[in-house]
């Protein structure tokens, strides 16, 4: 009986509730368009989708819609590019480690199920593209199944294992791939490329041996030769590691170490070289600041799709975080002082010309997949306007991925990655939780329909 139920659970998970892709052009009419390019919203807009791409964007009054056309009436709603989360971990569910889950989930098959749930949660949350920055081959498998249309999920760009400098005595980590010396570093990049990763991630941390400039430069150079981007994890703060990443020619830096640089000249160098920075300030807001408008730390979609054991573990984690935060405040931690610091740092980086992009580290502690809207709202509490935050998660995120000619904006020729929301996100980014439709590559998804799976078994 148990085996039959597990089989049914997998069938329910794989089934993709979508509105079938249109064989004739689809007209999205009447909504207010925020196109991801930074200009003023366009009311009474029409977007025409033919196959997987956008063919026309304009004002509804200027276009004649043919009789019998396929239409999504977005009157009173808002239309945006599909959102991009540039930093996720699909193998993690919002706990410190998968090992904290019940033992039944500690197997490749079960972890793959969790990856599939996380992917679905992201799509339900309006995330049409993610960049996974640290995973095993299981994420690559799920990526391929999504691309083949077998399961629902966002477009995935996966880095595979993170490259780390060999450190004698350091514990082995399944998602780390060690290298020692420039030649070995180049060989490891080629090994990752042969496994069909989409980019390379380098981990620079004082918790392990710090590589030489020659080693990091070798990784970046080999990645670029193979047509792959290279992004770098750095400790926060760590000016020396940021300098190493910049001098090596990396394409981007993860986390907000660059925002805390003591050296203004280095911040300017990051801007001049066109490097991107995933600040993650909004996720810090979600994890450490109280705001009744964000609601339950575990959203309804996660509660409905995750097995009971995972939900229970997340609730225990939320209780731990609340206790830790209370202890921090009791010992003198001033939330508003910290927030003011983030605002100064964000403003300083933008004035230097640094391109800030949206990333949540989804899968890390209480950063739950599909709830990215909370972190995007958090960016507006940490120094960004609502429009700046939207651009971080659309146009600018697409630039960081090297996909700016494909996604990130609503314009003719781009892939039809779009979300339709019920209320104005520029007035309050928390309105992004009220999704009417999600469109990825021309396929229309009903977020409510995507929830009809595990919830029926519980």
Give the CA radius of gyration of the chain: 22
Q: Mean of the pLDDT values across residues 387-412? A: 98
Q: Kindly tell me if the per-residue pLDDT of 57 is higher than 90.
A: yes
- How many angstroms separate the CA atoms of 359 and 379, rounded? 10
Q: How confident is the model over 312-348, as pLDDT tens digits? A: 888 888 888 888 888 999 999 999 999 999 999 999 9
Upstream peptide bond of 191 is cis (omega within 30 degrees of 0): no
CA angle in degrees (0–180, nearest 5) for 335-339-345? 145
- Token representation of residue 190: 């080629």
| Residue 341 tokens, joined | 């610091």
Pairing of strands 162-165, 176-179: parallel
Q: What is d(CA 240, CA 260) in angstroms, rounded to the nearest whole number?
A: 12
Q: pTM of the full predicted structure?
A: 0.93
Res. 204 pLDDT band, cuts 50 70 90: very high
What are the backbone angles phi and psi of residue 277, rounded to the nearest 5°?
Answer: -130, 120
- The mean predicted confidence, pLDDT, of the chain is 91
DSSP 113: H
pLDDT band at 457 (very low <50, low <70, confident <90, very high): very low
Phi first, then psi, for residue 296 (nearest 5°) are: -60, 135
Report the share of the chain in percent with pLDDT over 70: 91
Residue 15 has pLDDT above 60, yes or no: no
Tens-digit pLDDT profile for residues 73-88: 999 999 999 999 999 9
Cβ atoms within 10 A of the Cβ of 206, count?
A: 11
State the pairing for strand pair 176-179/199-204. unpaired
Do residues 154 and 128 lie in contact, with contact meaning Cβ atoms separated by under 8 Å? Answer: yes
pLDDT at 452: 79
Check residue 177 and give its pLDDT: 96
Is residue 176 within 8 Å of residue 160, measured between CB atoms?
Answer: no
In 10 A of CB 107, how many CB atoms?
Answer: 10
d(CA 71, CA 30): 10
Q: What are the pLDDT digits (tens) for 436-445?
A: 999 999 999 9
pLDDT digits (tens, 9 = 90+) for 339-389: 999 999 999 999 999 999 999 999 998 899 999 999 999 999 999 999 999
Say what the pLDDT of residue 341 is.
Answer: 94
* pLDDT confidence of residue 302: 94
Give the end-to-end CA distance of the chain in Å, rounded to a whole number. 15
13 neighbors 116 (Cβ within 8 angstroms): yes
Domains defined along the chain, listed by start = 2-81+410-456 (2.30.40.10), 83-401 (3.20.20.140)
**Residue linked to tokens 């930074």:** 38
pLDDT at 294: 67
Reported as a single tens digit per residue, the pLDDT across 245-258 is 999 999 999 999 99
> Tokens 């977020």 identify what position?
447
User: Is the pLDDT score of 221 beyond 80?
Assistant: yes
């Amino acid at each position: 009986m148990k085996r039959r139920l597990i089989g049914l659970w997998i069938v329910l998970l794989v089934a993709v509730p979508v509105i079938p892709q249109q064989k004739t052009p689809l007209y999205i009419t009447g909504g207010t368009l925020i196109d991801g390019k930074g200009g003023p919203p366009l009311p009474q807009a029409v977007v025409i989708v033919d196959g997987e791409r956008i063919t026309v964007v304009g004002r509804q009054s200027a276009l004649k819609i043919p009789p019998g056309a396929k239409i999504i009436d977005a009157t009173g709603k808002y239309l945006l590019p599909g959102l991009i989360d540039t930093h996720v971990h699909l193998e993690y569910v919002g706990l410190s480690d998968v090992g904290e889950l019940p033992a039944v989930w500690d197997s490749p098959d079960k972890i793959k199920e969790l990856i599939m749930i996380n992917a679905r949660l992201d799509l339900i949350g309006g995330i049409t593209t993610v960049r996974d920055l640290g995973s095993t081959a299981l994420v690559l498998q799920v990526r391929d199944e999504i691309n083949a249309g077998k399961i629902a999920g966002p477009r995935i760009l996966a880095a595979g294992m993170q490259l780390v400098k060999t450190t004698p005595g350091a514990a082995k980590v399944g998602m780390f791939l060690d290298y020692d010396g420039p030649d070995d570093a180049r060989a490891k990049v080629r090994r990752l490329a042969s496994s069909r990763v989409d980019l390379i991630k380098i981990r620079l941390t004082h918790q392990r041996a710090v590589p030489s400039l020659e080693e990091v430069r070798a990784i970046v150079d080999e990645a670029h030769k193979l047509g792959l981007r290279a992004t770098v994890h750095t400790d926060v703060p760590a000016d020396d590691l940021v300098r190493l990443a910049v001098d090596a020619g990396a394409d981007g830096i993860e986390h907000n170490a660059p925002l805390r640089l003591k050296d203004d000249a280095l911040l300017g160098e990051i801007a001049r070289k066109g490097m991107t920075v995933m600040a993650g300030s909004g996720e810090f807001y979600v994890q450490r600041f109280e705001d009744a408008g964000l609601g339950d730390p575990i959203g309804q979609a996660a509660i409905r799709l995750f097995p009971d054991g995972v939900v229970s573990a997340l609730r225990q984690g939320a209780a731990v975080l609340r206790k830790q935060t209370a202890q921090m405040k009791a010992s003198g931690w001033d939330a508003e002082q910290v927030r003011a610091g983030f605002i100064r740092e964000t403003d300083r980086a933008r004035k230097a010309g640094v391109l800030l992009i949206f990333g949540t580290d989804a899968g890390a502690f209480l950063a739950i997949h599909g709830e990215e809207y909370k972190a995007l709202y958090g960016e507006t509490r940490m120094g960004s306007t609502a429009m700046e935050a939207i651009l971080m998660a659309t146009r600018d995120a697409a630039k960081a991925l090297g996909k700016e000619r494909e996604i990130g904006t609503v314009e003719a020729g781009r892939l039809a990655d779009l979300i339709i929301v019920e209320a104005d996100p520029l007035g309050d980014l928390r309105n992004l939780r009220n999704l009417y439709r999600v469109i990825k590559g021309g396929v229309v998804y009903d977020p409510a329909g995507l929830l009809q799976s595990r919830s029926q078994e519980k």
